[in-house]
Amino acid sequence: MATDEDDLYRLLYNDVPAWTLCFLNDGVGKPLFLSKWQCEFVELEKRAKFIWTLCSRKVGKSTVLGVKSAHDVCGPDIERIAIFAPTHSQDFVYENVRKFLKSSPYLFENFIANDNADRIDAKNGSVINNRSVSQNTGGASVRGEFATKVLVDEIQSIEKSILNQIIQPIVADAYSDKTVYYIGTPNNMTNPDLEADWERHKARSKTNLDYAYFVVDCWRGIEEGCINAQYIRDQQEDLPRPDFQMEYEAKFPDTSQRFYTMQMLEDCVDTKYHFLDGPRPGYTYIMAVDWAKYLNNTQIVVGEVDLRNLHLSYCEWYMFNPKERKVDYEEQVDKVLELFWKFNVSWICPDSTSTQDAIIELLKNGTENHDGIPLPRFYGYDRDKNTDAQNLGYKATLQKNDEMHRNHRQQLVKGRISIPNQRPRERRFYERWVDEHHNLHVKNVSGSQHIRLVEGPGHDKDLAVTCAMLSLFLKERDKKPALMDIVGW
């Protein structure tokens, strides 16, 4: 039995679920009850220092991290807590901390000295820092941070280099006990090594008690009242199976059967190569363009080809995003012609499906700023037949798309394609390239032997299509004599 108010607080503080129920509410006046999985989660710190949790969406991970941080800053020990999120717009955990503390006049008046969007100071000297990790600056804004507790939310959206070079060194010193929480949803697009790191962490937990892991899927969330069962059933019907596994079953799916496997894509990385400012002697330059339709993007990719071994390296990339700014086709054509003549491109494959014939005419005739493209440099040109504009470029059909993607995959498997990923612009290209390729799902077409590749919800495919068109050059060269000059076939 408590002897006074301070003793009562101490007893409640030592029982996180009871403390939460007594002092916090959900921001609209309802008492905050932790679910069973959340109660188990907050107990992990008593036995482990490195805790990694994979959660279903909407199961309450931001809530439990917010409760844990609010609890720790209102305790007897001086804590310095750093909460990391990919961007400030994703600082849900920190905002939950602020909401929970403000929901309790007792806690706010007795423990909190200062509270703003970036930092919370407690009267005993404890601190909570809100830290976003800017991908554009490589996390430079948080380099040198120190903390006794590190919480990394949405870990799947943080690059491996930032985790290794910025966040993990925070816990390297031995001057104080530290606890690290990683929490997020399985997805290895930003960090392709995430699944391997997760498996390594699980393996360490079997021999080292400082490591612990925790998994909360949607089915447990439903059982404990955290998530709506009908919503999950709808998502299960609407999402491709791999996406549902990641988003709601909190597990990495088997992607070995994807049309473009992750291993296939990762094997293309060339860490020494980068985008070029212009052509280099001894190489041939090619280009592919996929024009924007509706709300997708116009993608322009230039490739550098070493004809000695028929190897293609992506050397320049430009994208028009109509969601950011509407750009008429004349301006887009002008950009294509600028890059065409900058690299003295020998072969170009523009998308000419549907209403794109008028654009082919613009490419042929040129603009005020740039000359047009000679006919023999177009994909589809046949000197013997004196090909006209209607047959230039790539015209998609079910069969041709099937053959194009199969060829592209074959070139990837042969090791004929390299992609840079080290500099910021190259990294953005690489991440989009991997995401679009890996999230193309095979869809069988009734009554046809051909397949259709369909992008998953929330994903694009225009860059993957552009690069598949670029690979048609390699297919053509396989059929040509090795010493044949490119221009003037």
DSSP assignment of 384-408 = GGT--GGGSSB---HHHHHHHHHHH
d(CA 11, CA 33): 18
Taking residues 242-263, what's their average pLDDT? 84
Sheet with 179-184, side-by-side order of all strands: 112-115, 119-122, 127-132, 80-85, 149-153, 179-184, 50-55, 211-216
Taking residues 368-380, what's their average pLDDT? 93
Q: Please count the other Cβ atoms lying within 10 Å of the Cβ belonging to residue 287.
A: 26
Residue 18, pLDDT score: 94
Fold for 5-247, please state it.
Rossmann fold (3.40.50)
Pairing of strands 149-153, 179-184: parallel
Intervals of CATH 3.30.420.240 along the chain: 263-479
Residue 355's pLDDT band (boundaries 50, 70, 90)?
low
Helix 398-413 with 472-479: angle, nearest 10 deg: 80
Intervals of CATH 3.40.50.300 along the chain: 5-247
d(CA 148, CA 438): 38
Residue 269, pLDDT score: 94
Residues in a beta bridge with 122: 112
Residue 136, pLDDT score: 56
| Helix, strand or coil, per DSSP, at residue 462 | helix
| Helix, strand or coil, per DSSP, at residue 77 | coil
pLDDT in tens, 420-477: 998 999 999 999 999 899 888 888 788 888 888 988 777 889 999 999 999 999 999 8
Residue 176's pLDDT band (boundaries 50, 70, 90)?
confident
Higher pLDDT, 471 or 29: 471
d(CA 181, CA 85): 12
Taking residues 185-212, what's their average pLDDT? 87
Task: Please check the confidence at residue 323 and state whether its pLDDT lies above 50.
Answer: yes
Q: Which two tokens stand for residue 178?
A: 């530290």
Architecture of 263-479 per CATH? 2-Layer Sandwich (3.30)
